[in-house]
Structures are given as C-alpha cells and as structure tokens.
Amino acid sequence: MASVVSHQAIGSIVSHRQSNFKASHFIKEQPLNVTMKLRHRGFKIEATASQIPVLDDTLLSPSKNIPLSYKKKSKEASLILIRHGESLWNEKNLFTGCVDVPLTEKGVAEAIEAGRRISNIPVDLIFTSSLIRAQMTAMLAMTQHRCKKVPIILHDESEKAQTWSHVFSEETRKQSIPVIAAWQLNERMYGELQGLNKEETAERYGTQQVHEWRRSYHIPPPKGESLEMCAERAVAYFEDNIQPELAFGNNVMIAAHGNSLRSIIMYLDKLTSQEVTSLELSTGLPLLYIFKDRKFMRRGSPVGPTEAGVYAYTKKLAQYREKLDETQTVTN
C-alpha cells in the first residue's frame, strides 16, 4: 500500500540554451546557462548575504553541460516552490492541464499571501512555467517582498524580442529580478480531458478510470501525459538549468503547477513513484528548501512575515534580513 506523503505546506522542445550573443560576451567566471544569458542581457545577479562563492575544481557538476573547471560553490542557497493560486478552471472544477487560463480573485489573494510568507527570504532569480497562472503568481508574490525589486520576464524567443525588451539603465537592472519562463515547468498535459468537468468525466468513464488517469504514475489520459512523462521534462530542466544556479549560490523561486512541482519534489525528497502519487500540494502555499553541500534540505512552509518560523534557519539569513531593515530605514 502506498505510503501517504502530504505537503500541505506547498504551500519549449529545447531548453533555454539558445543564444544569439557574441562569444566575446561570455564570462568564464560565471558560466551557468541562465546566468550567462542574464549577463548578456545586462542583468547581473548581485551577491546576497547568503552567497560566498569559492573556487572549487573538485565540485561535482550538477549539470552535464558545465565544465568542472568553471565551477564555484556557495555554502547555501534558498529554493522556494510555489504552486499557482486558484485558476478560473480550478474554480469551475475543469481539467486545465496546459490550457492557459488566469487566476481567480481568490487565486490572486493566495499569490499575495504567498508573497507575504516569503517576503524575508532572499530571491535572486525566478523560474515559472510558460502559463499565465504561474507567472501571475510569481509576479504578485514579489510585490510583497521586502527587497522591493521588480520581477522582469526575459524574452529570448527571438533576436528582436531580446532587443526590444532590453533594459538600458544599469541602476534599473540592479533593482530588477530576472524571470525565466520555461514550458518544461508547465502543468501535465491532460489530453482529451482538458476543458471537461471532473465530476461529469468520472460519471462518463467511471471513478476508478479517472482516478488512474489523475493519480497513477505511469498511465496517461487519452492523448495526454502521465506523471512520469511530466517528471521527465520537469526534472531534466531542473537539473540542467535550476540546480546549477543553486550550486553557484543564487537563491531561486519556482512558481509552477501541481504535477510539475510534484515531479521536482519527487527528485528533491527522493520519493518513489508510489509515494509521489499520494503527494498533495495546496495552491498558493510556498515550500522552502535549502541547498547546501550538494544536498536539498526541506524546511517546511514559511508561517508569516512577522513570525520567526523558518526565517531564522541560519545566521546568514538573519544577516540578510538585517541588511533589508537597514536599507528600508535609509530609504524611509
């Protein structure tokens, strides 16, 4: 019998490697795929209090595409996972999958509350899916962050998109947080179930059949993806693009979906295919992990902006909060 694993506290056919930038712009010192692109775009991720880069040629590469000789490591980095707030089709009890629908009023409130919960946790880089409900969640959450930086979605789909979205002010770039949108983090594609009412579908096909489509690891719905197929793309993207950023010391937030996040949590917590099918994720509730010594440690969900909770997990994070307080005192 599958053991029940509950996280009440989650409360692009190619990856983002394409580049039209000149080789002379490459900076060996910081060769990670996304970070290099941010440097090309003029974005420089400033070191936070939790980042102490150290050259280490012996560090095992978390990405097959990054030379070991280019590696740096930080003592620790934060990873925040947020499932998007309630969408309009969640409200209507419809299978949503990869259909691009926005948040409800409740979903907007959930995203804002998620932002309050993570407002003291450093964020250097944001990853979202290509779907609007995840992007809205990320953007709304950051309106509550104490750093007061503006999240900016990067557009690398064409040379014109890069040129037209370029930010020319160095000062403005320093006050911005890059947002990477990736289809690999999209919700599981539900095929012929997308747009159908869940209760009516259960009446038509039988409760057991629909349960297998929704909860089994290997069985996909008609012309859709199984959780296994979703995990293959989501975890591969995480390993190739997100984990290297954490290894470098960049603090990352991911705003995505129930199944893509379940897949990533399966990887982080080393769950079996049987355990992950019992994993429940609530909308709009963040979960915090610490990446340290090449390991992921789950810290639970932040409880609120005025409570210590997970915020006091290290001396370095306490220093980061003090720095924010000093900055805001000067500003005010």
Q: Which residues are catalytic?
A: 84, 187
For residue 207, CA distances in Å to 135, 204, 210, 275 come to 33, 9, 5, 21
Q: Is 89 annotated as a binding residue?
A: yes
204 is in an annotated binding site: no
The answer to whether the annotation marks 195 as part of a ligand binding site is no
Closest CA to 37 of 181, 149, 147: 181
Contacts of 229 (CB under 8 A, 6+ apart): 188, 220
Report the sign of the C-alpha dihedral through residues 11, 15, 21, 24, in that order: positive
| 187 belongs to an annotated ligand binding site | yes
Does 213 count as an annotated binding residue?
A: no
200 is known to lie in a ligand binding site: no
- CA-closest candidate to residue 313, choices 290, 280, 284, 287: 290
198 is in an annotated binding site: yes
In this structure, are residues 72 and 56 in contact, taking their beta carbons and an 8 Å threshold? Answer: yes
Query: Is 133 labeled as ligand-binding?
Result: yes
* Residue 188 is labelled as binding a ligand: yes
Q: Which residue from 235, 258, 252, 262 is spatially nearest to 291, judged by alpha carbons? A: 252
Whether 90 has a binding-site annotation, put simply, is yes
CA distance 119 to 140: 12
In the annotated binding site, the residues are: 83-90, 96-97, 133, 187-190, 198, 214-215, 258-259
In the annotated binding site for substrate, the residues are: 83-90, 96-97, 133, 187-190, 198, 214-215, 258-259
